[in-house]
Amino acid sequence: MAEVVFFIAAIGVIAGAVGTVTLRNPFYSVLALVFHLLSLAALFLLLRAEFVAAAQVVVYAGAVMVLYVFVVAYVGGDRSALAAPVGPRLKVLSGLFALALLVELCIAMIGTTLTVLDGQGTGFFAGFGSPREIGRLFLTDFLLAFELASILLLIAAVGAVLLARRRSGLEMAGDLSVADVMRGTHGTPGPAELETQAEAAGPAPR
Amino acid sequence: MSLTWYVVVSAFVFAIGAGGVLVRRNPLVILLCIELMLNAANLALVAFARAHGNQDGQVFALIVMVVAACEVAIGLGLIVALFRQRLPIDVDELRELQG
């Protein structure tokens, strides 16, 4: 039973990865990656990593992929899909490089004398990989990594907002003081409003 | 089910992701390929955690997922900024980041 599930999930994982790389339209690439992530969650379940599988489905296949879909819709997928493809020489060279990497990884990971990989793995206890156990590890042994991860997420969120903001926003902040806003003298539409109107009318032709 | 199979699948996915980073020119798809490589690493980590009967590898995989989410947020922010500047969404034509 486990073998059947493994091979179905593994074929799904590799097919999703190939689809992500080869599909021309970025929107279909994102959908292929979602399929890849869901299959990967099945593999995690087979490896007794329940919480990692749940986080994979909820955080990755849910939240992160929604972000991708929005950005692909905003940027517009088909225009970049029409760009001239990479030259055939570079493509062959890249394929050879990827193949060499695969061979090297297989030699490195299978060719070792790690005997643990031959079997099903050592025995595990009842709550192995459950949210309770992972939470206990995060708040005892890996507390520093946990806190650093939360700080990193905060920095990334602030950085993403700063990167994606409107460029005129910074100039506005210079000449607009809080006192002006309080007095209500800031009545005329600034560059930010004008840009919002221009954006509503559609992107300018390149 | 030998754990070697999981590690081989992980190696395949990593190689496919690395090839995709080299072949594709759309930065969105390059970000997706980096996700593929990170997921391959996650699969290997979880497989080794299972091999040793130790949950530390699963904690490591969760931290990798956090870092991947941060990387996606910053990368997509950069792409939106490029689009706002009316720059081409193509890594071959983007040779400098100076605004």
C-alpha angle A42-A46-A47 in degrees, rounded to nearest 5: 115
pLDDT digits 0-9 by tens, A152-164: 999 999 999 888 8
CB atoms within 10 A of CB B24: 23
Distance between CA A83 and CA A10 in Å, rounded?
Answer: 32
Chain A residues closer than 8 Å to B46 by CB: 44, 47, 49, 52
In a domain? residue A125: no
Query: Is the model's pLDDT at A194 over the cut of 70?
Result: no
The C-alpha of B45 sits at a distance from chain A's nearest C-alpha, in angstroms, of 10
Query: What's CA A7's distance to the chain center, in Å?
Result: 25
Q: What's the fold here for domain B3-84?
A: Helix Hairpins (1.10.287)
Pairs from A191-194 (Cβ < 8 Å, separation ≥ 24)? A192/A166, A192/A168
Q: How confident is the model at residue B98 (pLDDT cuts 50, 70, 90)?
A: low
Distance between CA A16 and CA A80 in Å, rounded?
Answer: 21
Q: How confident is the model at residue A58 (pLDDT cuts 50, 70, 90)?
A: very high
Q: Which of A34, A21, A31, A49 is nearest to A128 (CA)?
A: A49
Q: How confident is the model at residue B44 (pLDDT cuts 50, 70, 90)?
A: very high
Are A52 and B16 an interchain contact pair (Cβ–Cβ within 8 Å)? no
In a domain? residue A21: yes
Is residue B50 within 8 Å of residue A48, measured between CB atoms? yes
Q: How confident is the model at residue B64 (pLDDT cuts 50, 70, 90)?
A: very high
- Chain A, nearest residue to B48 by Cα: A117
The stretch B28-55 carries a mean pLDDT of: 91
Q: Do residue A51 and residue A80 come from a single domain? A: yes
Nearest-CB residue to B4 (from A46, A105, A110):
A110
**Which pTM was predicted?**
0.80
Q: Do residue A9 and residue A94 come from a single domain? A: yes
A9: containing domain: 1-99
Q: Do residue A59 and residue A136 come from a single domain? A: no
Is residue B32 within 8 Å of residue A61, measured between CB atoms? no
In a domain? residue A181: yes
DSSP at A116: G
A189: tokens are: 């539409």
- Chain A, nearest residue to B62 by Cα: A52
Q: Do residue A160 and residue A172 come from a single domain? A: no
The C-alpha of A182 sits at a distance from chain B's nearest C-alpha, in angstroms, of 31
| Interface predicted TM-score (ipTM) | 0.91
| The length of chain A, given as a count of residues | 206
Chain A residues closer than 8 Å to B28 by CB: 26, 29, 68, 71-72, 75, 77, 80
In a domain? residue A114: no
Q: Which of B59, B43, B62 is nearest to A42 (CA)?
A: B43
The stretch B21-27 carries a mean pLDDT of: 87
Sign of the dihedral through C-alpha B66, B69, B75, B81: negative
Residue type, B23: V
Distances B10 to A160, B3, B22, B51 between C-alpha atoms, Å: 30, 11, 19, 15
A2: tokens are: 């486990």
Is residue A128 within 8 Å of residue A48, measured between CB atoms? yes
Beta strands in chain B (DSSP E): none
Chain A residues closer than 8 Å to B44 by CB: 109
Are B85 and A37 an interchain contact pair (Cβ–Cβ within 8 Å)? no
The stretch B51-71 carries a mean pLDDT of: 91
What integer pLDDT is reported at residue B70 of this predicted model? 93
Domains held by chain A: number = 3
Nearest-CB residue to A26 (from B4, B28, B71):
B28
Q: Do residue A72 and residue A90 come from a single domain? A: yes
Q: Do residue A69 and residue A136 come from a single domain? A: no
